[in-house]
Amino acid sequence: YNDLVTVSRQVLESVDRPLSALITATLVDRQRLEELRGLGVDMIGMGLDAASQRVFLRTRGRGVGGPHLWRRHWQVVEEAREVFGPWRVNCHLIVGIGETDREMIETLFHLRESEVFAFFFSFYPEAGSLMQRRRRPPLVRYRRLQLVKRLIEAQRLQRDQIIYDVRDRIVGLRAPSALVEKAISEGKAFVTGGCPSRDGGLGCTRPFANSRPGEPFRNYPLLPEEDDILDIRRQLRLKEWRWD
């Protein structure tokens, strides 16, 4: 934490740019959040990663001998929201570490209702990690969650408009096709979620944060072009969905 304060102060003294601080909830309390705000930090980011307490305990908490607590992470989210204000806090969420679609969607709704951003990443099995043998989520699943996330955030899709199967997988939508088509063609659903630049654009692109060169982008670093949108449509396989 002391390093974070030192670096933040040095950056803010030398560069006239908005500054985002990525924090570890286990090391931060409200007093420290207020100190960062007083320094001039503009936005707080936090790696929530897991979409449910069940998955959190198995990947970051006591299930793997970790020090992290689910309730503490959410407490810090709420405190950061109070200190920094609406849409000045973001949470990173990883798709593919054991959560169900319903668990992920419920977390997205909770964050939207709290006026906190959610940024998506697709799990990648890093060599040497405890999860190095775990498979990545299928691209079709990631694309569908990206699309529904966009519909929730930008088009105010409601809980009862999402159709799940008995395994809590998304299998359809109760939504106008024009609304879904707009979300796909705009392309923003499939771009890296990251802190904004000064002009409101994307300031953080990380093109290979969760995929490798030569593979389809999981998160596009720029708005997808026309050919990319065609690829995305194929990857979504929406003809398999129900449209009640």
pLDDT digits (tens, 9 = 90+) for 171-191: 999 999 999 999 999 999 999
Spatial distance between the Cα atoms of 156 and 158, rounded to a whole number of angstroms: 6
Instruction: Give the per-residue pLDDT at 155.
Output: 85
Q: What tens digit of pLDDT does each residue of 78-110 get?
A: 999 999 999 999 999 999 999 999 999 999 999
CB atoms within 10 A of CB 176: 12
Spatial distance between the Cα atoms of 139 and 29, rounded to a whole number of angstroms: 37
pTM over 0.75: yes
* pLDDT interval class at 242 (50, 70, 90): very high
Rg (C-alpha) for the chain, rounded Å, is 18
Spatial distance between the Cα atoms of 93 and 59, rounded to a whole number of angstroms: 13
Measure CA 242 to chain center.
Answer: 26
Instruction: Give the per-residue pLDDT at 59.
Output: 93
| DSSP-derived pairing of the beta strands 170-173 and 162-164 | antiparallel
Q: What tens digit of pLDDT does each residue of 20-47 get?
A: 999 999 999 999 999 999 999 999 999 9
